[in-house]
A and B are shown apart, each in its own frame.
Chain A
Amino acid sequence: MRNSRNILRFAFVLIIVAIIGNVAMYLMGNSAFNIAELKIKKSINVEQATGISILADSGTVNIVPVKGDEIQATLQGETTKKWIKDYHLNVKEVKGEINIEITQDSRLRLFDLYTNLQLTVGIPAAKMSQLQVKTDTANIKVDSVHVTEYRLSSDTGDIDVNVTDGLFDIKSDTGDVALALEQIKYEISVVTDTGDISIEAVQEPEALRTKLEADSGKINVTFPHYKDGYIGIGGPMVKLISDTGDINMGNKK
C-alpha cells in the first residue's frame, strides 16, 4: 500500500517534469510534438515508358492527369520534425517502366506521434499500358487518367477509381473498392476480404458476363436486362469476390 503510494507520487512527478520539459522543448522547436512540412517533387520523362509502378506504405496515393510528357511525383504532407529527413521519394525508369517508391531510412519506428503524407502522381495524357500501385495502409485514388491496364492492391487502404474504362485487376484485404467508369469495356477482377465492392458505369453494358461471390455480404446488381449473371451474349468478364463485403453493380447516377 505504502509502496504503491510512493510509486504513484514518483509517477506524478515524472509526468509533471515531462509536461514542463516538453513545453520547453516545443518552444525551442525540438520536441517530439513539433510538426514540420514535407514536400519532395520529382519528375521523369515518359517517352520510353509504357507502365508505372508505385509503392507506398501509408498515407494516400493520388493518380491524376497532367499536361506535358513528364510523370510528376510529389510527396507532401506533415510529419514530426525528427522524421522529416527520413522520407525519400525515388523515381526511376527500369526497362521501360517508371518505378515510384516512398522509402524510409528507419525500419523500426516505435514512436511516431503524427504523420500525414500524400503522394500525388501526375500522368501525362498519352495513354500508358499499365498502372501498378501497391500499398499497405495507404488509400489509392485514381482520377481521370488513361491507362490500358490497372493493377491496384492495398492491405487496408480504400481504392477509388474514376476513369473512362480499362482492364482492372484489384486486390484489397479490408479496404473498400469503388470503380466509377464511363463504360465496362474490358475484364474487371476485384477481390477483397472484408471490403465492399462497388462498380458503376455511365453507359449501360450491352453484353456482360459476371462471376459474383460474397460469402456473408449482399450482392446487388441494378443494371437493366441483367439476368442469371449475364447481360446479352458474350461481353467482358466481371469477377467480383468478397468474403464479408457487399457487392454492388449498377448505372452511375
Chain B
Amino acid sequence: MNKDLYLSELYKYLKRLPPDERDEIMTDYAEHFEQAELNGRSEKEVIQRLGSPRLVAREVLAQTQIKKAGKSPSLSSVTRAVMATVSLGLFNLIVVLLPFVASLLLFVGVYGVAFFLIISPILLFIQNPLVSIFINEFFLMVGCVGIGLMLVIGSMKMTSVYYKFVIRYLRYNLSLIGRI
C-alpha cells in the first residue's frame, strides 16, 4: 500500500465526519507523510507505524465523538462517544460498555424512584378513592413529592458530573490504547 491508497482509504472510513472536519484531518495526515519523507523515512515505514487506515479512522472518530461530548455533554453525545470507543477493541466491551450500561441503569432506577414519588398522590388516589383515607395520607404524599423533587434535582446534578467523569474515562481509555 502506498501513501495515496492509504489516504484514500482513510478518507473513505472518515465519511461519517462533517466535510470540513474530515478535510482537516486528511491535511494533517498528508502533512505527516510529507514530514516523514523529509526526515528520510519511507512511505512503507510511515504506514507501518500508523497502522491500518480502518483502525486510524476508528481512533479519529472516537476522538471526535469524545471531543463533541466534552463540548456539549448529553445522553446521546456521551452514548455516541462510548460506542465509538467500544468499536476500538473487544476489550472495551468489558471495561467501557458494561460499566456504562450498569451505571446508566442505576440512574434510570433513581429517576424512576423520583418519578414514582412525584406522582405518588395520583397513585394513592387510584389505590384509595375514599377521600377520608386520602386526607389521612395527604402529608405523607406531600413529603413524597418533596423528596421526589429533591431527588430529581440531585440526580440531574449527578448526571452532569457523571457525564464529565465518563468523558474523562474515555479520554484515559483512548490514551491507554494509543500507548499500546
- Give the interface residue-count category, chain B: 20 to 34
**Which secondary structure characterizes the binding site on chain B?**
helix
Interface-facing stretch out of B22-30, B45-53, B141-149? B141-149
Chain B neighbourhood of A24, CB < 8 A: 139
Considering the complex, give the chain B residue whose CB is closest to the CB of A11: B149
Chain A neighbourhood of B148, CB < 8 A: 11
Contact at A14–B142, with CB atoms within 8 Å?
yes
Contact at B149–A14, with CB atoms within 8 Å?
yes
- Asked if B124 lies at the interface with its beta carbon under 8 angstroms from chain A, I say yes
- Give the interface residue-count category, chain A: 20 to 34
Q: Measured between alpha carbons, how far is A21 from B138 in the docked complex, in Å?
A: 9
Q: Measured between alpha carbons, how far is A18 from B139 in the docked complex, in Å?
A: 5
- Encoded as 1 (CB less than 8 Å from any A CB) or 0, chain B from 34 to 76 comes to 0000000000000000000000000000000000000000000
- Asked if A120 lies at the interface with its beta carbon under 8 angstroms from chain B, I say no
Residues of chain A touching chain B, judged by Cβ–Cβ distance below 8 Å, are: 4, 7-8, 10-15, 17-22, 24-25, 30-33, 82, 106, 108-111
- 11 more A-B contacts (CB under 8 A) besides A15-B143, A18-B144, A18-B146? A7-B152, A12-B146, A14-B142, A15-B147, A18-B139, A21-B138, A24-B139, A30-B136, A33-B140, A108-B126, A108-B127
12 examples of A-B residue contacts, CB within 8 angstroms: A4-B153, A11-B146, A11-B147, A15-B150, A17-B142, A18-B144, A21-B139, A31-B139, A32-B136, A32-B140, A82-B137, A110-B120
